[in-house]
Structure 1
Amino acid sequence: MDNEEMLRCLRVAARELASKRSIRDLQLTLAHIVEAAVETIPPVEAGGISLTEDGGVTSQHPTSEAVRELDGLQSRLQEGPCITAMIDPPEDGIVVALDLGGKDAERWPGFAPTAVEMGLRSLMSTQLSSEGGPRAALNLYAAEPEAFDAEARLMAGLFGVQVAMLLYGAEQARHLQQAVDSRDLIGQAKGILMERFALDDDGAFRMLVRSSKDTNMKLVEVARWLHDEATQKAAVPEEGPPAR
């Protein structure tokens, strides 16, 4: 294994990670990290990311159709190294199937035979989830049994740290944007109340808070309702005087 090449790939991925801003950039960087892991870790022949979305597990950036199918199978069965890495990982966060055609077949009896049929007998899944964030795993496949030694596991862990940092950053950015959007929505709702009822800023905010308590709705939901109601009202043209 070429350590200099490994470090080069990690540095390139880190620079990309730090420079990306949009969702499209995020997805491109994730794809590049998966590709770099497949190219840099010698036994690995294919890879991808499993991510929980809307109650299911989706396959993100698979490098082959076989990976997409196997990720989908694990999602349907709720069984396999990827699922174990996301839901019940060991202390180091890395789940290794040394031989899906041998002893590991008993651990994942529904998943293992299909993986072997597709020519992939070793699988290494690295947990990517941070506490409170979406559950995810970096999955690396190899054709030969017992393909992953200690060095390969270390490499997978390093790539996994990069993906985890990227997902964590994206999740924090999402929460921050939600907070900004909520603040803007509440500000617009206060403006509507100030105009309608000749209130000052403090009085309009107290009215929102009281409405939130009376309706048992979150403050931002009350603000959204008020904003939508005002928008709909403004869209309806006022009736002019009757024609003579």
Structure 2
Amino acid sequence: MTTDSPAGPPEAPGPPEDAERTRRRDPLDLAQTVLALHEAADSDETIERIAAYSRAAVGCDDAGVMLLLGRNQVDTAGATSDTVVRAHDLQIKLDEGPCLAALEHTETIYRVEDTTTDTQWPRWSAAVADLGYRSVLSVPLATKSRRYGSLNVYAFEPRAFDQDDMAVTMILARHASASLAANLDIEGLRKAVDARKLIGIAMGMIMERYGIDADRAFDVLRRLSQAENIKLRDVARQVVEDRGLSHD
């Protein structure tokens, strides 16, 4: 089942045609992507890969994973930028939004075509539009027996996600859910969130040291992770332990 936010007043022309959207997508081999999800060493790596692969496969600007930690506790465990974390935090603060809805309704895909005209989650959509996001797609991370969270992709342009994007995201979410089911328990969920908080501390140190914003600080950590071929969490731990970047 798919639900879209109610239509608003007439707007400016939408995003490019499908051919242009296709050029934005990374030509990942979906089978290889799915295999990589299942081969992740632990829950932290699984969640990092879910976010990164989703952004590449869909061709969106950002992606993130929101996890259900307990009956009334949710948090961000993986994100491709700090802006995603802020968008998720706004849902928790305002108690509304598609990512939370996908946590509750595991058979439904939620799509916001334009946050500036959305009326289904008006407070959250207005706040997220201020962050620059215009389109949002949220799909459940769940198995038949358990809810894990939601996979959420974001775009800076309105009406960015078509049926192909929805299909790709749903395929990734189903395999991600199976991977999470294989290696996650409640302690693993909390560990993933703790890793996210460690990354936040490292980002804060980099921001203060170099006078840059949160997204640029996150990019610094991500580039170091890729260059050194180590987990983002471990890069963050090194920054915190060394009180800065190793070459300072």
TM-score class, shorter: 0.5 to 0.7
SS at match of 1:120: coil
Q: TM-score, normalised by structure 1?
A: 0.61
Equivalent residue, structure 2, for 1:29: 46
Equivalent residue, structure 2, for 1:15: 35
d(CA) in 1 for partners of 2:114 and 2:54? 21
Identify which of structures 1 and 2 has the higher relative contact order when contacts are C-alpha pairs closer than 8 Å and 6+ apart.
Answer: 2
2:28, 2:56 within 8 Å by CA — same for their partners in 1? Answer: no
SS at match of 2:123: coil
Q: TM-score, normalised by structure 2?
A: 0.60
Equivalent residue, structure 1, for 2:84: 67
| Letter in structure 1 aligned against 2:115 | L
Equivalent residue, structure 1, for 2:15: none
Instruction: Indicate which of 67, 80, 99 corresponds to 2:97.
Output: 80
Instruction: Indicate which of 35, 56, 69 corresponds to 1:53.
Output: 69
d(CA) in 2 for partners of 1:66 and 1:3? 20
d(CA) in 1 for partners of 2:24 and 2:124? 33
Deviation track 1:139-196 (CA, whole Å, cap 9, x = no partner) reads 000011111111111111111112111112124798xxxxxxxxxxxxxxxxxxxxxx
Equivalent residue, structure 1, for 2:155: 142
d(CA) in 1 for partners of 2:69 and 2:184? 13
d(CA) in 2 for partners of 1:156 and 1:135? 16
Q: Could you say if the C-alpha distance between residues 80 and 162 of structure 1 is closer, same or farther in structure 2, counting changes exceeding 3 Å?
A: same
Calculate percent identity across the aligned residue pairs: 25
| Letter in structure 2 aligned against 1:47 | A
Larger Cα-atom Rg: 1
Instruction: Indicate which of 128, 133, 142 corresponds to 2:146.
Output: 133
Equivalent residue, structure 1, for 2:233: none
* 2:152 paired with 1:152: no
SS at match of 1:61: strand
SS at match of 1:144: coil
Equivalent residue, structure 2, for 1:227: none
2:142, 2:174 within 8 Å by CA — same for their partners in 1? Answer: no
Gaps of 5+ in 1: 175-244
1:74, 1:80 within 8 Å by CA — same for their partners in 2? Answer: yes
d(CA) in 1 for partners of 2:167 and 2:98? 17
* 2:135 paired with 1:115: no
Deviation at 1:11, TM superposition (A): 3.1
| Letter in structure 1 aligned against 2:86 | E
| Letter in structure 1 aligned against 2:110 | V
1:94, 1:127 within 8 Å by CA — same for their partners in 2? Answer: yes
Q: Could you say if the C-alpha distance between residues 19 and 35 of structure 1 is closer, same or farther in structure 2, counting changes exceeding 3 Å?
A: closer
Greater fraction of residues in helix: 1
Equivalent residue, structure 1, for 2:137: 124
Q: Could you say if the C-alpha distance between residues 4 and 117 of structure 1 is closer, same or farther in structure 2, counting changes exceeding 3 Å?
A: closer
